[in-house]
Amino acid sequence: MTTESVNEWPENQFAFWAEQARRLTWDREWDEVLDDTGYPLCRWFTGGALNAAHNCLDVHVEEGRGDRPALIFDSPQTGVKETYSYRRLHGEVVRFAGALADLGLREGDTVLLFLPAAPQTVIAMLACARLGLIHSVVVTSVPASVLRDRIDDARPAVVLTASGGFDGPQAVSYQPVVEAALDQSLHAPSACVVLQRPDAGRWHLREGRDLDWDELVGACTPSPRALPVPAGHPLYILYTSGSTAKPKAITRDTGGYLTALRWAVENVFGVGRDDVFWTDSHPGWVMGHSFGVYGALVTGCTTVLYEGSPVDTPDSGAFSRVITEHGVNVLFTTPMTVRRIRRETRAGTTLPEGHHLRAVFLASERVEPDLMAWTEEYFACPVIDNWWQTETGWPIASNCLGPGLSAVKPGSVATPLPGYHVEVLDEDGNSLPPGAPGHIAIRLPLPPGCLSTIWGDDERFVATYLTRFPGYYDTSDAGHLDEDGYLWVAGRTDDIINVGGDSLSGLDVEHAIVAHVAVERCAVVAAPDEFFTQVPVAFVIVKAGVAQDLDVLAGQLRDLVDTGVGAWSRLRRFVFVRGLPHTASKKIKRSELRAWLSDPSSVEEGLVVEADVSLPTAGDPLVQA
């Protein structure tokens, strides 16, 4: 696709998406490209029918590409390196679909997966899709209480799990978490299918509920036929890491999602059928769903699945090993991962010669310019920032590697992609001119691939995303569009600090602070102020081994912010901490920091967080300057 056609899409969006959808294999073509009779709820390709697993596997086998590698599995802690061709992966999916069918599962049933980053997770996802089942993959880092709530919300007919996995350097047993969640849940699945992994522990089966994965597959009748489902049929539900008490599951359709993913893989990421695409993400995250599994396989390329964190499993050298050993052409990872690689890498070190890497894509949080520059130097290839959300399922804005990169503006996520009519609005919903900061919103309808609703709750979907600015999807992010149409994302709207009537981006302040050589990481949040309404407070982690007078450091950081952002920001308070609280998806929980500011006792002691993170509590030796 050419750059010109990307720029022309808004005037012909229905023809554009119909053309892209016809690149899939449909059992029945749609009656309407877009059905908006239920506005603001809209549905893509109504009347059409297809199957996701068929498009991800059968099509490639039927086209004579069955011997091409589909999945490369690399598990350093177990010593397993295994390549699945499209034919082999198809056979495994057909067998496991038969096993699920033998359990009595039928179209529309939900299946919950609590599994490691292993081939069986991908096989189970595709087997569910083959039968028209709706899967919900839950990452294995969540506690039992969260898993319990998601079981009660998704009401799965069956739970698929494993005895354990390597989410990091050490084996983790899943049985205590799953047992506790099942014992506490109000909903009782009919069965719990367990994959025994001796390297990661042994699951003691409970009679009457637990079934052995391998035994079930060994006794099953394979299910060769892929069931055509309506284009709007839910392919999966995926829970977001929000802090609300009630679980919020993004619901993704089938036809629109596959259409958008194939376009994005080929055009945004520039990945073709002969390429190796590594999405450094557990299949349970949206990156893993969209590009590690469905996007890669519907395109027909090779996807890499790595068990563990490639930064510490076993060490940061694993990253370059995987890239060179498996011939990775395009890498999709997170700024957090690259920061950790930088911390462990000697200055001046680059990726070993002989690699085939063409580009690195970064997503999930804003990338500071110095990290972007370091990443480009280390990987010796273009580094492309892109912006999207779990809700959208694929990038909202990005530079595109497929048609050729356009001009890069460090700090910007480039221009919006096809289907995303992005506007910046004021508090009253009026469109703002270029350069003016405000609320980033997307004019309805959302393009194919975005969430169709919140699981089981259309009213909540409308209230959460479509009500604040009628006619728009509210991204809950702030920023501006410049005169060239480039989008600049400042951060979440609840991270915007109102200093005496001026809007201050906490992320802009953070970028100024991390420029100091002694600072490892920081987070800036708003604190109430009687005179200015709000003022920023910076929580700062000092790099290990750096001897620094904190009063002196605070003065230096204040000067950096006054120079880089402006003295009007009025940053005068610093809290030095050992670590920052994160969500499971590695985003800083600024709500916890704000809670600590208003009432230190409000942060529970012993709150479960990442193992290498300490949460500020009333008992911690916090140093304030």
Distance in angstroms (rounded) separating the CA atoms of residues 611 and 254: 37
Residue 532 and residue 403 share a domain: no
Q: If you compute the radius of gyration of the chain from its CA atoms, what whole number of angstroms results?
A: 24
Looking at residue 600, what is its pLDDT? Answer: 62
Judged by average pLDDT, the poorest of 185-194, 427-436, 581-590, 606-615 is: 606-615
Residue 485 located in a structural domain: no
Q: How confident is the model at residue 603 (pLDDT cuts 50, 70, 90)?
A: very low
Average pLDDT over the chain, rounded to whole?
Answer: 89
pLDDT(492) > 80 = no
Looking at residue 67, what is its pLDDT? Answer: 98
Looking at residue 546, what is its pLDDT? Answer: 81
Residue 536 and residue 475 share a domain: no
Residue 147 located in a structural domain: yes
Residue 537 and residue 443 share a domain: no
Distance in angstroms (rounded) separating the CA atoms of residues 218 and 75: 24
Residue 494 located in a structural domain: no
Specify the pTM.
Answer: 0.85
Distance in angstroms (rounded) separating the CA atoms of residues 592 and 525: 10
Residue 159 and residue 22 share a domain: yes
Looking at residue 2, what is its pLDDT? Answer: 38
Residue 505 and residue 461 share a domain: no
Judged by average pLDDT, the poorest of 226-235, 275-284, 570-579 is: 570-579
Mean pLDDT of 92-105: 97
Mean pLDDT of 261-267: 97
Q: How confident is the model at residue 609 (pLDDT cuts 50, 70, 90)?
A: very low
Residue 489 located in a structural domain: no
Q: How confident is the model at residue 615 (pLDDT cuts 50, 70, 90)?
A: very low
Q: How confident is the model at residue 606 (pLDDT cuts 50, 70, 90)?
A: very low
Q: How confident is the model at residue 311 (pLDDT cuts 50, 70, 90)?
A: confident
CB atoms within 10 A of CB 206: 12
Residue 512 and residue 433 share a domain: no
CB atoms within 10 A of CB 463: 12
pLDDT(287) > 60 = yes
> Coil, strand or helix: which one is 216?
helix
Per residue, what are the HEC states of 478-507? EEEECCCCCEEEEEEHHHEEEECCEEEEHH
Residue 281 and residue 402 share a domain: yes
- Label residue 457 exposed, middle or buried (CB < 10 Å: 0-12, 13-18, 19+): middle
- List CB contacts of 414: < 8 A, sequence separation 6 or more: 384, 385, 386, 397, 398, 399, 406, 408, 486, 487
Residue 548 and residue 434 share a domain: no
Q: How confident is the model at residue 317 (pLDDT cuts 50, 70, 90)?
A: confident
- pLDDT tens digits for 363-416? 877 787 888 899 999 999 999 999 999 999 999 999 999 888 888 888 899 999
Residue 197 located in a structural domain: yes
CB atoms within 10 A of CB 619: 9
Angle between helices 144-154 and 175-184 (to 10 degrees): 50
Looking at residue 506, what is its pLDDT? Answer: 86
- pLDDT tens digits for 178-214? 999 999 999 999 999 999 999 999 999 999 999 999 9
Residue 464 and residue 514 share a domain: no
Mean pLDDT of 90-99: 98
pLDDT(8) > 90 = no
Mean pLDDT of 278-290: 95
The count of structural domains within the chain is 2
The residue assigned the tokens 């096989």 is 123
Residue 297 and residue 174 share a domain: yes
For residue 315, the enclosing domain spans 3-479
Residue 486 located in a structural domain: no
Mean pLDDT of 318-343: 91
Out of 479, 508, 537, a domain closes at 479
**Which stretch of DSSP H or E encloses residue 92?**
helix 86-102
Looking at residue 10, what is its pLDDT? Answer: 57
Q: Which residue has the higher pLDDT, 342 or 424?
A: 424
Mean pLDDT of 449-458: 97
- List CB contacts of 312: < 8 A, sequence separation 6 or more: 168, 169, 340
Mean pLDDT of 293-320: 92
Looking at residue 585, what is its pLDDT? Answer: 62
Looking at residue 346, what is its pLDDT? Answer: 76
Q: Which residue has the higher pLDDT, 593 or 270?
A: 270
- List CB contacts of 215: < 8 A, sequence separation 6 or more: none
Residue 383 and residue 316 share a domain: yes
> Coil, strand or helix: which one is 320?
helix
Cα three-residue angle 314-315-318, rounded to 5 degrees = 85
Judged by average pLDDT, the poorest of 136-145, 182-191, 272-281, 295-304 is: 136-145
Q: How confident is the model at residue 272 (pLDDT cuts 50, 70, 90)?
A: very high
Residue 514 and residue 421 share a domain: no
Q: Give the CATH number of the domain where residue 563 resides.
A: 3.30.300.30
- pLDDT tens digits for 54-68? 999 999 999 999 999
529: closest CA among 570, 568, 480? 570
Q: Give the CATH number of the domain where residue 394 resides.
A: 3.40.50.12780
pLDDT(531) > 90 = no
pLDDT(614) > 80 = no
